[in-house]
């Protein structure tokens, strides 16, 4: 019989992976800042048309901008934490599902024990 099991994928922090993560965080920040600018532009454009109530329009756009600002703050915090982490630290990257063979006579506790894949610089380093 085969069953699905969640497997945790962890990444070992190396100089290369740290730079890649910083790159990802900074590009996400740039996208969010661009979205904020675009929202401000759209707000001004819609305010000039006078088709909508200015108060509700402004409230809606400010709410969307605030959501993006919070995401930027979170990214800044993640960048700060990444700077603190020493090389060799394990970071949980994601969870995936794996198909596991279950046979009569196997130890059930070993089967259901959480499995982990360790990745180092994009290459599988070990299974735990």
Query: Could you tell me if 16 and 93 are in contact, meaning their C-beta atoms sit under 8 angstroms apart?
Result: no
Rounded to 5°, angle at Cα 63 from 76 and 71: 15
Parallel, antiparallel or unpaired: strands 2-12 and 115-120: parallel
Query: Could you tell me if 10 and 93 are in contact, meaning their C-beta atoms sit under 8 angstroms apart?
Result: yes
- Predicted TM-score (pTM) above 0.85: no
Burial 102-125 (b: 16+ CB within 10 A, else e): eeeeeeeeeeeeebebbbbeeeee
Q: For residue range 9-42, what is the model confidence (pLDDT) as tens digits?
A: 999 999 999 999 999 999 999 999 999 999 999 9
User: How many residues are there in the chain?
Assistant: 128
Q: For residue range 53-106, what is the model confidence (pLDDT) as tens digits?
A: 778 888 999 999 999 999 999 999 999 999 999 999 999 989 999 999 899 999
């Amino acid at each position: 019989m085969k069953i699905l099991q969640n497997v945790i994928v962890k990444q070992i922090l190396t100089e290369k992976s740290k730079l890649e993560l910083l790159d990802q965080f900074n590009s996400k920040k740039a996208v969010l800042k661009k979205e904020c600018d675009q929202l401000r532009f759209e707000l001004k454009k819609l305010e000039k048309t006078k088709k909508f109530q200015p108060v509700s329009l402004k409230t809606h756009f400010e709410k969307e901008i605030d959501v993006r600002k919070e995401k930027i703050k979170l990214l800044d915090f993640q960048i700060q934490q990444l700077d603190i982490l020493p090389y060799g630290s394990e970071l949980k990257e994601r969870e995936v599902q794996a198909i596991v063979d279950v046979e009569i006579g196997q130890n059930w506790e070993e089967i259901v024990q959480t499995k982990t894949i360790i990745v180092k610089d994009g290459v599988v380093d070990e299974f735990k």
